[in-house]
Amino acid sequence: MEWLKLFGKLFLTLGLAIAGTILLSLPLIPLFPAEQIQWWSIFPQEAAFIGASFLAWIVFEKRPVREMGLAPVSFLRFAVGAGIGILMIGTLFLLLWPSPWLEVAGVRWNKAVLFSVLSAVSGFLAVAAGEEIFTRGYVQTLLVERLGVWGGIIATSLLFSLLHLLNPHTSLLPMFNLFLAGVLLGVIREATGSLWMPVGLHFTWNLTQELLSLPVSGARLTPHSPVIAAENGPDWLTGGPFGLEGGIAVTLMLLLAILWFVRRDPEKFKFKGILSAAKPLR
């Protein structure tokens, strides 16, 4: 019965978030042309996921929202996470640049590019906050308490990857990489006890790809990026139309990053069984 209550709460919260997304997005359809709806719909979507997470946490768990990993506020951890995201994507880009698989045509800057950069910053900040509060803040916090650290991280990462199942150009390798990205973000959430570093990493992981003119999880948020680049290598390596997240290069980068964070605190991430470290449901 306790398990039914737990998963019932999780599915109800997800359902509230999806319903809220639809209801908040519908008024935008007649206001904007079709090519702009994707960008504008980000904000009601993430507001719905954040609102559903907070509502479920307060009503079902009867706990302060700071226990979701939002306190203490740490802009330093956010900045460190943002730096890691830039470093990871930037390193892959620089490694591919000398190869025949990535063509960099130049750099540009004008009013259209400035607007695109500001749009990308606001959009991806909303995405990072919404997805991290829902997955790592709400879902992972509850599942780690019930399944232990690794059980909670893995289950949450599966949900995280499934939330991207309908993205354009998805396939098995991109889905696996999104699962690994979820594991990395989940490991950082547990290592720091906070959402601030995962939010920062998630934010710049997406933003850096956008500014380098690369697809982000199969989509482009803005039409004008400062760097004009194109991937023309094998999809299994560079990710093709899905972006870097769809290639084996990102797979290796994510595995190395997960290993690095786990080795920093091996006792915390020591596998102790799915239920042995779990707390009772409230």
Query: Model confidence over 199-220: pLDDT tens digits?
Result: 999 999 999 999 999 999 988 8
pLDDT at position 2 over 90? no
The string of DSSP codes covering 5-65 is HHHHHHHHHHHHHHHHHHHHHGGGTTTS-HHHHHHHTHHHHHHHHHHHHHHHIIIII---G
- What three-state secondary structure class fits 276? coil
d(CA 112, CA 8): 46
User: Across residues 227-233, what is the average pLDDT?
Assistant: 88
More confident residue, 173 or 28: 173
Output the pLDDT for position 137: 98
User: Across residues 23-39, what is the average pLDDT?
Assistant: 76
Q: Which of 23-27, 56-60, 192-196 has the lowest mean pLDDT?
A: 23-27
Mean of the per-residue pLDDT values of the chain: 91
Residue whose tokens read 């003119």: 213
Output the pLDDT for position 34: 65
Q: Which of 54-63, 140-149, 272-281 has the lowest mean pLDDT?
A: 272-281
Q: Encode pLDDT of 121-162 as tens digits.
A: 999 999 999 999 999 999 999 999 999 999 999 999 999 999
pLDDT at position 39 over 90? no
